[in-house]
Structure 1
């Protein structure tokens, strides 16, 4: 049976910090498509306090999470253990998008490892923290993190990044607004 926690305690924090990847799920307010995104790079997720977490939103071909959060704020983050310990941890909450234009962006950015191509930081206020067994999840080992996304982002100059984001990140696949025109400029600093 699963357990509900009042907060992210030291054991849950250690579990989260050990995971090489996590999943993010969001959905539009009405109709539209539910989105589930796998996220990698072990240094792109941070526990800010006992009920607040954040992660780097790196360049990508879609903008579903940002669009959904701006529309309704609903988000679930899931960590799934693939090692000996069978455990799934879900963080249900309300998310918000912090862009390079926001005053808190530099302080949040400092919490993560160095990555180019940062579009924003997603901050989640956790309303429910719960686990489940994960007995049906296979055991797998991590060979290595892929560096492809970081290498791609480094090769882009300011104009290429701006053009890419304008083409792929202005609206979700359901037409919900994502990044505004002024938000497509790349951040002048890396995380």
Structure 2
């Protein structure tokens, strides 16, 4: 049976920060496509306090999460156990996109491991924290993180990354605005 929590307990914190993969779901306010993105690199997720979490948004194929958060703020993050005791934790809340120009960015970036290709930090104020059994989630063995995303971002110089973001990160697949032109400049330092 699932349980609802007022805040992230020590047990929940330990569980979510030890998972090698998590899933982020968002959707536009009306119409459009629901988006679910798998996220790797455990050091890209941080618990900030009892009801606030954040993750490092790395450059990639799309920009749905940023567009959807700017459209309506709704976001859900899900963690599930692929080893050990079965468990699923969902964090429902309101997201904020923190870009390198935001005063909060410098304070937050140190909470994450070093990664090139940082677009933003997504901060989530959780209004519902739940866990459930996860009895049907299969056992799977974690071998290691794929390094391809970091390698891909690390090969691009500032101009190439700026051009990529201008072409691919200005709007969602449904045409919602995402990164503004002044937000397409890459972060000069790794996280």
TM range (shorter): over 0.9
CA deviations on 1:41-81 (whole Å, 9 max, x unpaired) are: 01000000000000000001100000000010000000011
Gapped runs of 5+ residues in structure 2?
Answer: none
Deviation at 1:189, TM superposition (A): 1.4
In 1, distance between residues paired with 2:37 and 2:148? 17
Q: 2:2 aligned with 1:2, yes or no?
A: yes
Q: 2:145 aligned with 1:140, yes or no?
A: no
Q: 2:59 aligned with 1:59, yes or no?
A: yes
In 2, distance between residues paired with 1:84 and 1:49? 26
Q: 2:40 aligned with 1:40, yes or no?
A: yes
Deviation at 1:95, TM superposition (A): 0.2
Aligned length: 191
Deviation at 1:37, TM superposition (A): 0.2
Aligned with 1:106: secondary structure? Answer: helix
CA deviations on 1:113-145 (whole Å, 9 max, x unpaired) are: 000000000000000000111001000010110
Which residue of structure 2 lines up, in the alignment, with residue 187 of structure 1? 187
Structure 1 segments, 4+ long, off by >2 Å, are: none
| TM-score after normalising by structure 1 | 0.99
Deviation at 1:190, TM superposition (A): 1.1
Gapped runs of 5+ residues in structure 1?
Answer: none
Which residue of structure 2 lines up, in the alignment, with residue 102 of structure 1? 102
In 2, distance between residues paired with 1:60 and 1:156? 13
In 2, distance between residues paired with 1:9 and 1:133? 17
Q: CA RMSD in A?
A: 0.5
| TM-score after normalising by structure 2 | 0.99
In 2, distance between residues paired with 1:127 and 1:34? 20
In 2, distance between residues paired with 1:136 and 1:167? 40
